[in-house]
Amino acid sequence: MSTRAASWLPLSPGERAVAIEVLVHGRLSRTELARRLNLSAGSLTRLTKPLIESGLLVEVPDGGLLAEGRQGRPSQPLDVVAESRAFIGFKITEDMVYGVVTTLRSDIVARLDRPLAGHEPEDVADLLAGMTAELAVRFPALAGIGIGVGGLVQDRAVVKESPFLLWRDVPLAELVEERTGLPVVVENDVAALVEAETWFGAGRGLDRFVVLTIGAGIGYGLVLGGKRVSCAGEDRGFGRHWIVNPYGPLTPAGERGSAVSLLTIPSIRYQIRAATGRDMTYEEILGLAAAGEPMCSRVIDEAARALGTLLAQIANFAMPQKILLAGEGVGLIDVAGEAVDEAIRVNRHPMAAPIGLETKVSDFHDWARGAAVLAIQVLVLGVVAG
């Protein structure tokens, strides 16, 4: 990429490991840092000295507690200055751009949304540049931009294919960099969300972690060894080929019984519309199902059993420590959680450990925050490629 972030360079691998540990896990004592990184006290002192001198890390008071609870000087844990830099994250949908500004620790401090008038790449880049300029007035210390797009992204720069935007081979990072002068990283929106949850969210500190999203589509991300597993086919809409119930409903595209046909919001709305002639929102369908309306109850119950089957299959094969269920469709759990639990039970060994399931109803600003984390990673790691 032509423009580089003012990254944490030059840092030795040891210095970078110390800085990232503090960034991700929050303020840490030197003793805890040394334990986590398997360093001697002397080695840690040598590594932290230049980080403190540069202002990357700061010593913070800890209420006057003595180090290790024993006699001696008060403990001064190390921390980063989260507000020292700001990052923009954009989530592009079919008709909107959702934007956020985050701190170095990915806390959202501002939101800005704009309608998408068209899908011409230059027009979209112009819109993103305009939103960036508007946000830069309030946040002059912008260090980078992350963009999340539904579809296949190459080298965190080029949108190879996006069915929602009807794009092929769009050099989005370059287009936005030219207009903003900031380093830009582009990634599939689910991959961005997985990175954010791995660094700062539900998957922090875990060795094996899965993110499953349900909403407009089905998304899946796998973390092994604390790092997201990247593969060529991860953004190819695998949910259309993940058959949960071969006797299940059809989608408008003719797929029967796939995760997409059973679980996505458009497919659930399509089933209700086909059966009743009424066009309902997802929230209306959930509400009627909760109230016992027969058709909505049947469709939602079938979706819940599909979700439970899917979660059980993931647990059986990936053996994660935790599964994060996220997305706009997570309200399904609140209405039909018992059917989800029953399907999990049926599809798991009776002696299998319970699935560590966490749910998170994500709006589009959460997806935008995931994109901002991509920009944080570029700054911290000094690299663009995932």
User: What's the pLDDT at 194?
Assistant: 94
User: What's the pLDDT at 68?
Assistant: 45
User: What's the pLDDT at 16?
Assistant: 86
User: What's the pLDDT at 64?
Assistant: 45
User: What's the pLDDT at 53?
Assistant: 83
**Each residue of 108-153: pLDDT tens digit?**
999 999 999 999 999 999 999 999 999 999 998 899 999 999 889 9
| 73 and 165 share one domain | no
| 176 and 310 share one domain | no
User: What's the pLDDT at 326?
Assistant: 94
Specify if 2 maps to a domain: no
| 304 and 242 share one domain | yes
Range of the domain at 239: 206-361
Specify if 324 maps to a domain: yes
Specify if 8 maps to a domain: no
**Each residue of 59-72: pLDDT tens digit?**
887 654 444 444 44
Low-confidence ranges of the chain (pLDDT < 70): 1-9, 62-75, 232-240, 251-254, 383-386
What domain count does the chain have?
3
Specify if 4 maps to a domain: no
Give the residue among 353, 288, 279, 342 at the shortest CA–CA distance from 316: 353
pTM of structure: 0.85
Q: What is the CATH number of the domain that holds 134?
A: 3.30.420.40
Can you tell me the distance from the alpha carbon of 379 to that of 87, in angstroms, rounded to the nearest whole number? 10
Name the H helices within the chain. Answer: 13-25, 30-37, 41-53, 121-138, 172-180, 189-200, 259-263, 265-276, 282-290, 294-318, 331-346, 364-381
Residues in the chain: 386
Name residues whose C-beta falls within 8 Å of residue 296's C-beta, 6 or more positions apart in sequence. Answer: 272, 280, 285, 286, 288, 289
| 376 and 314 share one domain | no
**Under DSSP, is residue 107 helix (H, G, I), strand (E, B) or coil?**
coil
